[in-house]
Amino acid sequence: MSNPGNPQQDLLAKALASVANAIFIADEAGKIVWINDAFSRLSGFSAEDVIGCTPAILNSGKHGAAFYTQLWRTILAGNVWQGEIVDQKKDGSLYTVDEIITPLFNEYGVITHFIAIQHDITQRKQESEREHHLAYHDVLTGLPNRLSFLDLQQQAISDARRTQHMIATLFVDLDQFKPVNDRFGHPMGDQLLVAVAERLRAAVRQSDVVARFGGDEFAVLLAKLPDPEVASALARKLLHSLSRPFVVRGQKLNIGASIGIAIYPAAGNDAEALLMNADKAMYEAKCQGGNSYHVYDTVLTQDVGTESPVPAAPPMEQHRPANR
C-alpha cells in the first residue's frame, strides 16, 4: 500500500501497518487484499496465507449461517457492522475479537472494499467467564452453588408449568461429617466433600443437577419427573452410596446422610419455597436419627403455622434404606 509519490497515502499506509489492532482489507467480492502485522500476530496467518482468500479462512464454527448472512447484508447495504466474533487461528486455537467492518466507496458511491478492524478481547472474555463460573459454582467441588441451583430450579419450574410435569428437589445433609473435620482437620474434610460430590454425580442421571451449598449441604434437582417414586428411589440410592466407607489419605471414613424431598407443585410453586420445604423435610429425617429420607407434605406446613388452609394429608413419610 506504500506510495512514495504521495506522502499522505504513504503515511496512511504506515499508520495502518503499525497500529496495535489487527486490520485486513477485502475487495468487493470479499477476498482479502491486505493485512497488517498485527493481524498476522493475532491470527498466525501470514499475508501469503490469506491474500486472495475470503475471511471464511478464520471461521471457528461458533457462528451459524444466519450470523454471517446478517453481517454481509449490513455491509453490502453500505452500513458499518460491529460485533463480537470468535475466530480460529492458523494453529486451530480460538480467539475472540470486537470487530468493526466498514465499507469503502469510490467517487461514484460504489463499494470497492471493506476494512475490518479487530480488537482482541480474548483475555477479557476468559476472565469474565472465570468470574461467572466462580459466581455460580462451588470452588471446592466445581458443582453449581446455591445461586446457580436456584436459577436452574426456577427454569425447571417454568418448564414444568408449560408441560405439566413434576420436578423434585432433594436436600442432602451429611451425617457425622463434623466429627471428621474435628478429628482429622479441614483438609481431610475438604477431600471428603470432593469424594461425596463425585459419588452424588455418579448416582444421578446426566440431566439431573447436583449442587453444593457450602459446609456439608448438597442438593439434587430432578426435572420432568414422571412419578414421585423416582425421587424416593434416588434418595434410597444416594443413602446407599454415601453409607459405603470413604477412603481419604488412607483413612477409612464412615458417614451417612439425611435427605429431604420436595415435589413441585405440591410442595411449592417457586424455587425458594421448594428448596425451603426440602430443607424442612431433611431436618425431619435428621431428627429421626439420620441415615434416612423424608418426603415433604402439608403436615410440615401445619407445623410452621402457614396461613393457607391445610387439607387433610397422611403423616410425613419417614424412610430408612433397606438392609444393604
Question: DSSP letters along 215-254, please?
Answer: TTEEEEEEEEES-HHHHHHHHHHHHHHHHSPEEETTEEE-
Across the range 70-95, mean pLDDT stands at 97
Spot the catalytic one: 120, 138, 173, 216: 216
Q: Measured between alpha carbons, how far is 28 from 104 in angstroms, rounded to an integer? A: 9
Judge whether residue 312 has pLDDT over 60.
no
pLDDT in tens, 124-141: 999 998 898 889 999 999
Judge whether residue 46 has pLDDT over 80.
yes
User: Has 216 been annotated as catalytic?
Assistant: yes
Judge whether residue 5 has pLDDT over 80.
no
Residue 13, pLDDT score: 73
pLDDT in tens, 228-256: 999 999 999 999 999 999 999 999 999 99
Domains of the chain in sequence order: 7-126 (3.30.450.20), 137-319 (3.30.70.270)
Residue 2, pLDDT score: 53
Q: What nine digits make up the cell of 159?
A: 418448564
Residue 319, pLDDT score: 55
Q: What nine digits make up the cell of 228?
A: 414421585
Judge whether residue 310 has pLDDT over 70.
no
Q: Identify whether 144 is preceded by a cis peptide bond (ω within 30 of 0).
A: no
pLDDT, the chain, mean: 89
Q: What nine digits make up the cell of 3?
A: 506510495
Residue 309, pLDDT score: 30
Amino acid identity, position 125? K
pLDDT band with cut points at 50, 70 and 90 for residue 10: confident
Judge whether residue 161 has pLDDT over 50.
yes
Across the range 160-188, mean pLDDT stands at 94
260, β-bridge pairs = 171, 294
The total of other beta-carbon atoms located within 10 Å of residue 4's CB is 7
Q: Measured between alpha carbons, how far is 100 from 69 in angstroms, rounded to an integer? A: 16
Residue 198, pLDDT score: 97
Cell 412419578, residue located: 227
Q: Measured between alpha carbons, how far is 314 from 176 in angstroms, rounded to an integer? A: 31
Reported pTM: 0.68
Q: How far is CA 71 from the centre of its chain?
A: 28
* 297 close to 314: Cβ distance less than 8 angstroms: yes
